[in-house]
Amino acid sequence: MIAERFSLWLGTEHRRLALWLPVFIGCGDAAYFALRVEPPLWVGAVWSALAACLVLVCHARPALKWGAAFLLMAGLGFGAAQVATWRAPPVPALPRRAVLVSGIVSAVNVTSGVDGRASAQRITLRDAVFLNGIDQSMHPLRRTLTIRLRSGDAATPGDHVMVRALLTPVAAPSWPLGRDRQREAWFSGLGGHGYALGPVAVESAARGVGLIDRARMHVADRVTDAVPGPNGQIAALILTGLSAGLSPDVRATYAAAGLSHLLAVAGLHLGIVMGVCLVAMRGLLTTSEYASLRWPCKQAAAAFALCMGAVYVVLSGAHVPALRALGMAAVAFLALATGRRAASLRGLALAASMLLLAWPELIFDVSFQMSFAAVMALIAGFEALRAPLAAWRTDVRPPRRAVAHVITLLMTSVLAGTATLPVVIAHFGTLQPYFVMANLVAVPMMAMLIMPFGLLGLVLMPLGLSAWPLFVMGRVIAVVSWLAGQVASLPAATLAVPAMPTLGLFAFLLGLCWLCLWSTRVRLLGVLPILVGCCSPFLVARPVALIAADGGTIGVVQEDRLLIDGQGMLEKNTVSDWQLALAMRPSANGCADPAACLLAVRGGKVLIRTRDDSDGVVPLPPALCAEAMVVLSATPQRNSCERGMFIDRFSVWRDGAQAVWFERGVGASVVSDRAWRGARPWVMEAQDRGMPNLPMAPAE
């Protein structure tokens, strides 16, 4: 009976099974990254080959054939992740002291200064070399370096520059289970960060290289001249991707209102640009009777829109999210050219499969997760609502047609916002309750006024007639900014949420796929993993104590407070990550004795030692050692305590940042960053400084 029902259901859903292929590719990617040790390179190939043989053997049995196909996709994802890791260049060894760095500027970003008002450039250097005695005649680095210049210094993309800087490798996670910036840098090609200690010297100006970047800067200057102030900076950001010193307060206001996606050039902006170009070109072609009767106007308009979308992506900086959106648009154009629906789950599955096979690391990328979750929810949601909405749109009564359009806008914001909200919570630890209200007004204004007038300004800019469309664009942006400010000022506009565990996010995404990809009532079972994922931040225990990777910063969770003690080199970024993960505001410990501070936490007591002039030689009072379940020390242990669990500077030097949990009946349990991430190519060990930059052999 169960087998018959399963066969009947499988026959009903057989056209939807192909939609699950990218899901299993992503599962293969996730399985590779979840390992604690690096597997042999042949594992993915053997896995895929065996699964392919199984597909051929089970060809006559549909259920087994699809199961083998899913296994094959997982193997391809696993193998693609292995190849991507193998192809990435090793992390270079960076000088531990200040050094002269010479290289070519590949990108320039304007960031706010320390005071939040002054601006400074952060340049990205490629083919960098170190001008010191040790690295003399070294090969150029195969990875890039980002260096923050001093205020007032400037460089242009394509310039060959030299600057004295202090460099540091990419930081390890600030706590176990935290964001892995080293893994992100491994696949992005980043080798390290730094800040300039002196002025930057341009050895040779850009010639031919960086013409697109020069055009972007020229357009940004024209836009900010026509629209001064923050509104002009937002307009320049939308059209060119250059922030031009956009104030952090503006970004924070948009984020609190749930409108931060309007300041990130990605799928939304590209979709609006291509939509405007598609409608304009098709309307232009239909004015000609000859073109309407003899030319494929729809396909021609789609091709024009795709070309204009590519131009916009290049003008906005060709960022990865925009390139990914352009790839999805290319799939939609292919569907239009072949007479199929542009917005379909099959096209989305094809785009997701290609992206995950080409860049497996995207499985952890927040913009990838948000864009595909939003598009999948929109397509599936409007598939279910197509019939009732079509009846209202074709109604002869104007009020019903108007209501249908309002419902469409509302459902767009609700579907996209609800699908991406847990992803935002997982990565950013914040919840904006009023995001639907803000997006319901701001997104239509972006689509119908801001982007069209911005594109018109770009078209008229060579003729010197761009002032008036840019002025209109700036006035509408002012209205959106006012709306963002009003929403951000509402009570509880931004709520802090504890970090969502990785398994919780996986459960939500799997439940969302189950809900959207099936067509029968079985899809409703996806609500259960969605609820589990959304509730997971409140179902897992928080750590009671944290110690940073340098051992200098210690945090203790006491009731609803995060007490911070110590003065570590990584204190600012570390405390920010802890605050995001625990959804708690940090406050100073205020302990009177930094040499021995005993704090009561949930389930036990923690002893903190942030200062010790004897460097661990003088022992702590035995009574304190006996009473504390764990001792966290910024100095070496040595003779500090004879018993109990002790985490000192040497512990974090060997194993990275550590977190402590108190379990009833078990005692204290400690998880270190090294134990959590394992021995992977992107994990820097304590004694590992990276691949030496060997000099070239001398010529004979």
> DSSP states of 526-577 as a string?
GHHHHHHHHHGGGTSPPPSEEE-TTS--EEEEETTEEEEES--TTHHHHHHH
DSSP state of 447: I
Q: Determine which helix (DSSP H) or strand (DSSP E) holds 163, and give its type and residue range.
A: strand 160-168
CA distance 85 to 93: 19
SS3 434: coil
CA distance 677 to 182: 11
What's residue 114's pLDDT? 47
> DSSP states of 323-368 as a string?
HHHHHHHHHHHHHHHTTS-SS-HHHHHHHHHHHHHH-GGGGG-HHH
What's residue 185's pLDDT? 93
Least confident of 4-18, 98-112, 165-179, 361-375: 4-18
CA distance 568 to 553: 5
Task: Label residue 696 by pLDDT band (50, 70, 90).
Answer: low
Asked if 285 and 294 touch (Cβ cutoff 8 Å), the reply is no
The DSSP bridge partners found for residue 565 are 554
What's residue 391's pLDDT? 64
DSSP state of 340: S
How is the chain split into domains, by residue range?
Answer: 2-87, 99-209, 217-496, 545-677
SS3 635: coil
CATH of 99-209 among 1.10.287, 3.40.50, 2.40.10, 2.40.50: 2.40.50
Q: Which residue pairs, CB below 8 angstroms and at least 24 apart, start in 381-390?
A: 381/411, 381/415, 382/411, 382/415, 383/345, 385/411
Region of residue 241 (left: phi > 0; alpha: psi -120 to 50; beta: else): left
By percentage, how much of the chain surpasses pLDDT 70?
89
What's residue 116's pLDDT? 47
Burial class (CB in 10 A: 0-12, 13-18, 19+), 318: middle
What's residue 244's pLDDT? 57
Does 648 score more than 50 pLDDT? yes
Does 89 score more than 50 pLDDT? yes
| CA 357 vs CA 48, 73, 370, 424: distances in Å | 13, 10, 18, 24
Does 148 score more than 60 pLDDT? yes
Q: Which two tokens stand for residue 230?
A: 């923050």
Task: Label residue 86 by pLDDT band (50, 70, 90).
Answer: very high
Does 695 score more than 70 pLDDT? no
| CA 401 vs CA 389, 414, 438, 549, 592: distances in Å | 9, 20, 23, 60, 70
C-beta atoms surrounding 483 within 10 Å: 17
CA 411 from centroid of its chain's CA atoms: 25
Does 241 score more than 70 pLDDT? yes
DSSP state of 177: T
- Give 221 or 164, the one with higher predicted confidence: 164
CA distance 551 to 181: 19
CA 506 from centroid of its chain's CA atoms: 16
Chain mean pLDDT for the chain: 82
CA distance 648 to 631: 8
Asked if 685 and 578 touch (Cβ cutoff 8 Å), the reply is no
The most confident of 98-107, 293-302, 342-351, 402-411, by mean pLDDT: 98-107
Mean pLDDT of 263-283: 80
Q: Which two tokens stand for residue 408?
A: 């469409």
Region of residue 306 (left: phi > 0; alpha: psi -120 to 50; beta: else): alpha
Q: Position 383: which residue type?
A: E
pLDDT tens-digit map of 15-56: 888 889 999 999 999 999 999 999 999 999 999 999 999 988
Mean pLDDT of 105-112: 75
SS3 137: coil
What's residue 115's pLDDT? 47
CA distance 423 to 534: 10
Burial class (CB in 10 A: 0-12, 13-18, 19+), 631: buried
